[in-house]
Chain A
C-alpha cells in the first residue's frame, strides 16, 4: 500500500517533522513527570493516631471497611490541601495565618528553651511576689451550742460561761462542735459574720461569748488562729518554679517578637509609625 502523493508531501514537510518530534518529546516528558508524581504518604504514626481515635470513640478496633473509609477521607484531605497550597489558597487566609503564627510561637519556645531556675532565682521570685501563694485565715476552736428553739438560750449560754467546764452544758448540734484549722471563709458561710468576728477577736485559751449565729447562741474557746499568711517557700517551691518559668517564657516570646521587628519594616496604611511591640 502506498501513501497518496498529498500525504507524502505532508510527511516531507519540515513542520510535520517538527510537530512529530515535539509530540514524542512531550510523551517522554509527561511519562517522566508521571513517574515522579509527588507522593502522599500516610506514615506509621499517623495511621496509629487514626486508629487510636477510632478506638477511643468506638471502644473496638475498626473493621477493614471502616479503616478504608477513614483512610480515603484522610487521603482526600491531603490531596485537596496540597492542591490548595499549590494554587496559593493558603495566602490571605485568617485561620491559616493564625495557626501558623501559633505554631511559630510554640516553635520559638523550643528554639530558646527556658533554663532551669537556680535556688537564688526562685527565692528572688518568691520575695518579689508577696501576694502569691497566700494561705487563707484559719481557726481552731471549740464551741457549746444553745438552740434558739429553747427559751432562754442566751441566758443559758451566759450561765454556762461561769461553769468551770462549760463543755456538756449545751445541746447537740448538726455542725461540728470542734474545728481544727477550719477556714474562716467556711465559718462565715455556715455561722454568719458575728460568729466569725468573735473567732477573730477572742483571746485564745478561754471561754468567751455568748455570740449569736443563725442557729442560736454559742460560747467559744479559740485554741489557735492564723491570719492570711504566706505559704513557706519550701511548701510552694514547685509552684514558684512553674511561675518563674512561665514568666521567663513570656519574656522570651517578647524578645523573639522584638527581634523579628528588626528584620522587617512594618507599615500600616495611614499611620506614620506602626504601633511598637
Chain B
C-alpha cells in the first residue's frame, strides 16, 4: 500500500500531520488484499470420491438480506440462513411462512449478493446510524407489496441517474457485509459433504440493459471488497480486475445471466466501449467467463422461438422484459445462448477468434435466501413479500375471487417467471477444488429445476458394446471428451456421441433426448435439433426426425401425470448424419421430461380456482448439457 505520488507532504494542513504521513509512507509494507493463508495440506480424498465423477447439484446465484433489493423486498434472512436452507433445513419467508426444499439438500451453493451497496439497506434500517438519517430512507422499508414495488423502482431509478445518497457507499458498511458473506461460506463448507463458494453479483445494466454477472471465487482467499459495477459498468473492466486478482493468486470466474434481459447486448458483436472485438478480447472473455447461466426464475435464455423457428421446444419460460422494469425487449439476437454459440463459430470462421465458447449452468436467482427453490409444486416466489403470495404472482385471481375476470389483470410480470434453474456439475468429489475445476472445464449442465442427470461424450472410436458395458463411463472418458470439451480433428470419420439422461428420483419421467447442433455452412450459421432417443420403446420417425408422441399427459384437476409413460433413463449412441469434417460445429444435449403442472397451476390447485388462462398450464422440465465443439483446424 502506498499513497499515490501526487500527495505533496508540504501541502498538508498542519505540520504534525505531515510528519505522520511521511512516517506512514515509510512504515507501510506492501500487502495483498487478503492475508496469505498456509497452503492446503496434500489433498486427502473425501469418502464420496469417484474417478468416474459424480453429478452434484447446486445453486450459484443466491441473494440474501445483504442485497439492497432483497432487503427492500422485506427479506431478513442471512447468508447463514441460505446455507442452512440448502442443507435441507427450514427457514422463514418474508411473507411469514416457513420454507424448505422438497427434494432434499443441495451439494453446493454460493451466496451472491449484489456488490453494489452490499449490506447498506440493513444499516439504513438500523436506528442511530448515519445512513438511517438520510431523508426518505425510511420509505424504503414498507411491508406493503405495492409500496415495496415503488420503493424498489425509486431506488433503481436513483442507481441509474447516480443519485444514490453517498451514505450508501460507505466502504466500512460494505466491508462488514462482505465479511459476513465470507464467514458464512467458511462456516458452512464441509469437504465431502457440502461445498460453499464465496461470491457476489456484479450488477451492471447500462440503460437498463442487463449485463449482470456472478463472480465465484475458488477459495476463501478473496479481495477485501468486491469489484462492483459502480467502479465500471464495462464487464471488460471486471475481467481485467479478475486478471489482477489471479496475478495475486486469487482465482475467480464470472457467470453472466439474464442475457434475455440485455436487449441483445450480452452477446453482441462489438465490445462494450464500441471498439471491434479482437483475439485479446476473446481470450480475456473466455478466460474469465467459461460458463453462462442459461435458465433462472427470470426466464430461460437458451433460445427464443423467433431465433429458432424450427425448434418446437424453444418457447420454454421465455421472459421478454428488461430486468426490474416492464420495458419490453426488442432485440433477441445477442440475448440468447444458442445464437451466441453460433455467432462464436462465425467469428472463429471469419476473424479467427471465438469469445462465445461457453458451457451452460442454471441457477435460481432467489432473493429469499432459498437456493434451489425452483420446484414447481413447492414454488414460493423469488422476491420476498413482493410475490410471496399467489395473488401477487398472478396464479390465482385477485381479492379472493373464484374466477378470472378478463378486465382485472395485473401486468404480467411475476406470472411469467418460471420455477427454473439448477446447476449440475460432474466432479470427483464434493469439495471446492473438485467442483471449481469442473466449472472451469465446463463439465456442467443446467436443469429447469429437477435433478435430472445428463452425461454427454463424443469420440471417433467408442467400443461397439459401450452402452452395455458396466464400465461405460470409464470407457467414455478413456475414448472421448466430456461435455464442455473439444473434439479432435476428424480424419474423415463422423464423431459418435454418448447421450445419457437419468430422471430426478423425485420428479417426472423422461420423454426424449435431443442433440442440438449448430454449424457453419458456406459462411452461414445453421442449427438443427435432432431427437436421438425416445421413451417407451418408441423409435425416431425417419420422416419427421422426431420421436412419436408417447401419449403422456397431466390431469390438471390433480396435477397427476399419466401412469407408465416416459423412461427412467434415456441412453443412446448417436452419430451425426450431417457431419462434414470441414465445418465448424457445436453439439449439446437437451433432455425433456413428460409434461407436468407449472407452478402457477399448482398454486391454482391449492387455491381451488382455475389456472390463469393466460398462462401455460404445464411445462416440460428439461436439462441441457454443456456443448462439445468441433473445429476443423484445432
Write the residues of chain A forming the contact surface with B, with a CB cutoff of 8 angstroms. Answer: 41-44, 47-48, 51-64, 67-68, 71, 93-96, 138, 147-149, 167-168, 170-177, 179-183, 185-186, 188-192, 213-216
Contacts and interface: CB of A to CB of B under 8 A. Distances in A.
Contact of B569 (A47, A174, A189): A174
Contacts of A60: 4
Given A42-B20, A172-B472, A214-B506, A61 B3 contact: yes
B23 A215 contact: no
Nearest to A180: B47
A12 to B, nearest CB: 49
A168 B568 contact: no
Tell me whether chain A's interface is mostly helix, strand or loop, or mixed: mixed
B16 interface: yes
Interface of B: 1-4, 6-8, 11-13, 16-17, 20-21, 23-24, 27-28, 33, 47-50, 52, 54-55, 103-105, 127-129, 171-172, 174-175, 193, 223-225, 227, 231, 241, 244, 453, 455, 467-470, 472-473, 500, 502-503, 505-506, 535, 567-569, 571
A67 B55 contact: no
Contacts of A170: 470
17 contacts: A51-B3, A51-B24, A53-B175, A56-B175, A57-B225, A63-B6, A96-B128, A149-B535, A173-B502, A174-B502, A174-B569, A175-B502, A176-B54, A179-B48, A213-B505, A214-B505, A215-B568
A149 B537 CA distance: 8
The 6 closest A-B pairs by CB, nearest first: A95-B128, A214-B505, A174-B502, A189-B104, A181-B47, A56-B224
B497 to A, nearest CB: 16
A63 B224 contact: no
A43 B27 CA distance: 14
Nearest to B127: A95
A68 B11 CA distance: 10
| Chain B interface helix/strand/loop/mixed | loop
Contact of A64 (B6, B23, B47): B6
Given A53-B171, A188-B104, A149 B470 contact: no
B105 A44 contact: no
B571 A172 contact: yes
A64 B11 contact: yes
Contact of B505 (A61, A180, A192): A192
B4 A53 contact: no
A47 B559 CA distance: 65
Contacts of B225: 56-57
B2 A138 contact: no
Nearest to B476: A172
Given A53-B175, A56-B33, A56-B224, A47 B20 contact: yes
Nearest to A215: B568
Contacts of B469: 172
Given A56-B224, A174-B455, A182 B47 contact: yes
Nearest to A153: B568
Nearest to A95: B128
Given A62-B4, A167-B470, A173-B502, 12 more contacts: A47-B21, A48-B28, A61-B1, A63-B4, A68-B13, A94-B128, A95-B127, A172-B472, A174-B569, A181-B48, A182-B48, A188-B104
A54 B505 contact: no
A59 B453 contact: no
Nearest to A149: B567
A196 to B, nearest CB: 12
Given A62-B3, A63-B7, A214-B506, A172 B128 contact: no
Nearest to B224: A56
A38 to B, nearest CB: 15
B20 A191 contact: no
Given A64-B7, A172-B468, A185 B105 contact: yes
Nearest to A46: B20
B485 to A, nearest CB: 19
A53 B171 CA distance: 7
A61 B2 contact: yes
A53 B6 CA distance: 19
B137 to A, nearest CB: 16
A27 to B, nearest CB: 26
A64 B105 contact: no
Nearest to A168: B470
Contacts of A149: 535, 567-569
A215 B505 contact: yes
B319 to A, nearest CB: 30
A215 B569 contact: yes
Among B50, B193, B568, residue most surrounded by chain A Cβ atoms (within 10 Å): B568
A47 B174 CA distance: 19
A186 B451 CA distance: 13
A66 B27 CA distance: 21
Contacts of A41: 16
B172 to A, nearest CB: 6
Nearest to A49: B172
B206 to A, nearest CB: 21
A173 B174 CA distance: 47
Contacts of B8: 64
Given A56-B33, A64-B8, A94-B127, A51 B1 contact: yes
Nearest to A96: B128
Given A148-B568, A215-B502, A59 B3 contact: no
A93 B127 CA distance: 11
A51 B129 CA distance: 22
Nearest to A75: B13
Contacts of A192: 505
A187 B225 CA distance: 39
Q: Quick one: which of A53, A54, A177 has the most chain B CB within 10 A?
A: A53
Nearest to A169: B470
Given A42-B20, A95-B128, A188-B104, A174 B470 contact: no
A37 to B, nearest CB: 13
Contact of B470 (A47, A94, A147, A177): A177
Given A61-B1, A192-B505, A172 B470 contact: yes
Contacts of A67: 3, 7
Contacts of B473: 172
Contacts of B571: 172
A44 B20 contact: yes
A176 B571 CA distance: 16
B470 A43 contact: no
B171 A57 contact: yes
Contact of A183 (B171, B193, B505, B569): B193
B212 to A, nearest CB: 21
Contacts of A44: 20, 23-24, 27
B438 to A, nearest CB: 16
A144 to B, nearest CB: 9
Contacts of A179: 48
Contacts of B453: 174-175
Contacts of A61: 1-4
Contacts of B468: 171-172
